[in-house]
Each structure stands twice: as C-alpha cells, then as structure tokens.
Amino acid sequence: MTETSPVAVVTGANSGIGRATAIHLASNGYRVWGTARDLGRASKAVQMADEAGVELRWSELDIADDDSVRKGFATILDAEGRVDVLVNNAGVGGNAVVEECPPSLFLEVMNVNLCGATRCVHAVLPGMRARRSGTIVNVSSVVGRFAALAQAPYVASKWALEAMSEELAQEIAPWGIRVAIVEPGITKSAIFAKNVDAPNSSGVYDAHYRRLFQFYAAGMARATDPFEVGAVVREAIETDSPRLRWPVSWGARELLESRPRVSDADWVGLGAVDTDEEYVAGFRRLFGLDIAT
C-alpha cells in the first residue's frame, strides 16, 4: 500500500458488515479509515485486521451528530488530503408496527440511517467534485425495497436512503462520481442480534411481531458471511460495468426480484391470513423463499 492508494472511509467499521468491508478493502490495496462512535469498541476490528495482516486507521465520530461528523472527517482529510471512496454503512434497526411507533422513534432511526449518511456525503462530496472522481456506496437493505413486517421505522429509513441515493446518483453524475446502493439480505451481523425489541404495547399485533422474528430466525439460520458483502462493495467500486443496485446475502435475490411481480392485492392479502402456517406458505408462494423455522 502506498500514499497513492485509494482512500476509503467505512462508517460503523467496528462490527459486522462495516468491519468486514473495511478489512476486505484494506486487504485489496485501499488505505482504509474506519469510523465508530466509540473507538473503545473497535478492539475486535483491530484484532481481525492484525490477523489479516492489514492496517485500519480510525476516526471517532457519531454519524447522528453534525459536529461529530465534521470533526471526524476533518481528522481524515487533514491526514489524507482526500477521500476517494465513502462507504455509508453505519446504521441502526428499529422494530414497531406503525400504530405503536411514536414519531420520536421514526425520527431517531431516520436521523441515523438517512441523515447520518447524508452528513457523511456532505463531508466528502466537495473534494470529489473538485477531483471529478469518487464513489459513494450506501449500504441499504432488502427492506429498502421490501416492507418487512413490523419494522416501520427501519423500513421507512431504508426506503428513504434508497430514494436519496437515486437522487444523488443523478445529481453528481456530471462530475464522474458514482453512487452504488448495496442491499444486503440477512448476514451474520450484530445488528440482528440486537434487533429484538417488540413494543407490542397494545397487545393486538402479536402475530405481526411473531412473523417478523420468524423471518429473521429463518434468515439467521442460513445467514451469509459479512465478508460476502465486503466483496460486493469492492466490486461495486471497481467494476467496469457500474449499476445502481447490488443485492447480496440470504434472501436478497428472491425478495428483490419477486417483489415487483407481486401485486399490491396479493401483498396486502398476505398480511390478512389467519395462521402462521398460511403466512409461511403464502410467503413461499409469492417470493420463493422458505421462512419456516
């Protein structure tokens, strides 16, 4: 690795997909800066990077805070002079049906998953425009185009991230800057282990939360390695045949290829079935994906 190696910033690089992506890029010739809200929690990432024989540089920043992002990226830009690749990976989950989701939770999740990515874009885009080059990779989710049951704040934030990414891709194309949206299904990632809240404050949505967790339980039993996502991120950066969207990991292909073919009537009707057995069978029929556990 040399001073001319491309400089990549990966947010949320202390765990899961971000950690795997940072290490994978560093193993393939990038000078990688990882970010985390608390660098004290990056010890596992440092250890894994050492074991892989690569170096990760670090900047502490909280993508949910304007000043923190400005200061964190100032550290990176002062050291490197540029950012060639931004991987907006950091994010949070959020479970709730709409009726039980207070506006404050929508805003909290949106502030991280949408506004956090936007803050980081603001930090790197002026330099990319000046150099007329760069790549921004926004890590979305299958729920960015597939409204997973009982995850209203998470789904809304990822749909918003996809919309922002489409907008951004058109806006910055004149400067030769590319945007890629990576859409993971279920990977072996800490976000799923942490995503166990089920408000169910009214008690009338038992089936919805149960079916949500059944979907994720089925996925976790078949989850793919986060380094698979890291490899797709690298491909999205380096490809000679760029495209906007990059599905990856368990369930992504089935869900994202099938959803446009599922009528709104069939989609809504799936929510109305009485039993979990009917739900599993209907899900398999519509999406070709077995979520039985």
**Annotation says 154 is catalytic:** yes
Instruction: Name the phi and psi angles at 80, rounded to 5.
Output: -110, -30
Q: Which is catalytic among the residues 154, 205, 209, 279? A: 154
Please identify every residue annotated as catalytic. Answer: 154
